[in-house]
Structure 1
Amino acid sequence: MSDANQFQPNITDGLQYQGLLGLVLFSTLTTMPCCVFLFINGTMLFTLRSKTVFRETSRYILLYNLLFADTLLLLHSQLMYLLAACRITLTYPVCGALTMLADLTTVISPLTLVVMCLERYVAVCYPLRHATFITIRNTGVAIIVVWAFSLLNVLIRVILLLNFPFEELQSLQMTDFCGKESIMLDPISDLYGKAYTYFLFVSAGVVIASSYIGVMIAARSASTDKASARKARNTLLLHLVQLGLSLSSTIYYPLLIAISEVLDRIIFVRIQIVIYVCIIICPRCLSSLIYGLRDQTIRPVLVYHLCCQRRR
């Protein structure tokens, strides 16, 4: 915890060192791709609500929920980055609220991927019961459970955070920029955060891998549609990649801490921007975009809207 706190001011010291021009340049290098990805995500969200087939199909409803959470997290990440780059400090309550929002959306993504994998598993292994199990109502209940589980995690974090003796602080104004490491004032909160993250992603990985193995076994059965099984297998592999991309954001700060110890400040700031774009921004758009482009139903509608509704 002490190493993380010592590292906090160093993340944006290089930006200040290079002056206003460097601040504007580096902020633009992160804001431009973020705006592009927000446009793509917004178009994808609009596409998934534009036709009845998308609004009444379980896997598209789940995809909308996944994309919605990733878009919120993308907005939150860029806001926090700009606040840190401009050296704007917040109060502990405001920082805590923003951090809890990030925790909420971070948990929703892997949980939604788990539900999407189970839906594909049922579609291949139990095709006759798929229409009975996977209904609009059951999908809505699954999404509510995902959000409730995520809110429970946030509630536990808030309770642990309240155990910290804030009255001993000289001021509620933070001296460092707002981040998850700076708001975890209690060692128990830090330990809980790490344990919960490990448990969540390991459990999600086990479920996705098990679903993939189940589909592979079902594909060898003579009664299984080979094309459907192959498509489901590729979809599950994509979900596993999506889970890995979601997991990559958890190594952002530890990776920066390790790099900052061996590189010069200016070089470190430049590498930090590349890491931020690759680990934080890109995964929140690319996985859903790839999922949309490979789906034969979504692709023509998505391309139509991305091209501003101009037909060739």
Structure 2
Amino acid sequence: MAANNSLAGDDFLLRKVQFVVLQSLVMIFLFINLLLIITFLKKEYFYTTARYILFALTLLSDSFLLFMSDILLIFTHFHITIQVWACIIIFVVVLVYITVTPATLAAMTLERYVAICMPLRHGELSSTRNTMNCILIIHGISSVPCILILSTFLASASLSYYSKYQFCSVEVFMLYIWQHNLRSALYQFQFLIMSIIIVFSYIKIMKVAKAASGDDKKSSKKGLRTVALHGFQLLLCLIQLWCPLIESAFFHINFSLYEIARYLNFLLFYLAPRCLSPLIYGLRDEVFFQALKYIASFGLYKQNLIDKMN
């Protein structure tokens, strides 16, 4: 009996430590994103340049999605149930923004393709106006799965179901097997199209890189690395779509295993992909990194590349 109590105590302590570590990582990530967003807003060059505008969109999307997902994780940790109608409100945001970042990655990849493979048309196609229209299209595309999933749920659920208290997860809206299949098919199709865009752009940029020389070759190779990172980021986002299926299986077996699965999935497939965006543009982009160091040092660091932005 004492041994069982000791094991239960160790398990409880381990879960508490995991929770504190994860919350600390989330806070660090959100702070870094806030710093990057402030840097973006400080220079006109950034918010009038297509790739930086799209980068800012990924920062906002990732921060918003991570914040909402973390709230759901906290609910699970403390075994908090909420009424289904409140869960719907939360998941409208989650279901839309789970696709915004991958769709934006595809748009950023196309922007790099145009910049390297069609430099004479880059200024026209990547204008601020076209970028804003692209953002509207991204949100429209991202809303399609949310609308269809919620429509099937609203058509299937009884009125009394909305007042029930449940653990808030996407499984709340999956009343039938065909709804799971529909959700999976929608997201797999979207990510297939995005993957094709990234692979197409990578091949085209690779051809230009082989034929280029000097500064053009260096720029093309950097573009290749950026597109490759976008592809890896997209892969992690795709795996994220399988997380609810894994969590659902554990939920029906053991709640403790379900909690562990949620922690691991959150860390590997929610947090990790969203750490790549700051890496790709916040650190690898020389101009942005110089501006970031200037902001982070409260103006004590003198920028060497500031003239390039004016």
Residue matched to 1:138: 130
Deviation sequence 1:112-159 (CA, Å, 0-9, x none): 111111111111111111112111111111011111222233222222
Is 245-254 or 267-276 further displaced after alignment?
A: 267-276
TM-score (norm 1): 0.84
Structure 2 partner of 1:239: 230
- The separation in 1 between residues aligned to 2:42 and 2:60, in whole angstroms, is 15
CA distance in 1, matches of 2:223, 2:152: 41
* CA positional deviation for 1:229: 1.4
How far does residue 223 in structure 1 lie from its aligned partner after superposition?
8.3
Deviation at 1:305, TM superposition (A): 3.4
Q: Distance in 1 between matches of 2:132 and 2:138?
A: 10
Which stretch of structure 1 is more off in the superposition, 61-70 or 228-237?
228-237
1:78 pairs with one of 54, 70, 77: 70
**2:19 matched residue in structure 1:** 27
Q: 2:26–2:271: 8 Å Cα contact kept in structure 1?
A: yes
Assess if the C-alpha contact under 8 Å between 1:89 and 1:173 holds in 2: no
Identity %: 29
Change (3 A) 1:66 1:268: closer
Question: Is 1:215 paired with 2:222?
Answer: no
Aligned to 1:63: 55
**Would the alpha carbon gap of residues 266 and 275 (structure 1) be closer, same or farther in structure 2, given more than 3 Å must change?**
same
Q: 1:66 to 1:182 in 2, by over 3 A?
A: same
Cα offset for 1:286? 3.2
Relative to structure 1, the CA distance from residue 129 to residue 266 in structure 2 (aligned partners, 3 Å threshold; closer, same or farther) is closer
1:95 paired residue number: 87
CA RMSD of aligned residues (A): 3.0
Query: How many angstroms apart in 1 are the aligned matches of 2:136 and 2:257?
Result: 45
* TM-superposed deviation, 1:289: 3.0
Runs of at least 5 residues in structure 2 that lack an aligned partner in the other structure = 1-6, 303-310
Structure possessing the higher relative contact order (Cα contacts under 8 Å, 6 or more residues apart): 1
Letter in 2 for 1:33: L
Q: Give yes or no for contact 2:33–2:63 (8 Å, CA) kept in 1.
A: yes
Aligned counterparts of 2:62 and 2:297: Cα–Cα separation in 1: 22
CA distance in structure 1 between the aligned counterparts of 2:47 and 2:34, rounded to whole angstroms: 16
Count of matched residue pairs: 295
Normalising by structure 2, we get a TM-score of 0.84
Alpha-carbon distance between aligned partners in 2 of 1:24 and 1:215, rounded to the nearest angstrom: 47
Taking the aligned partners of 2:176 and 2:250, their CA distance within structure 1 comes to 26
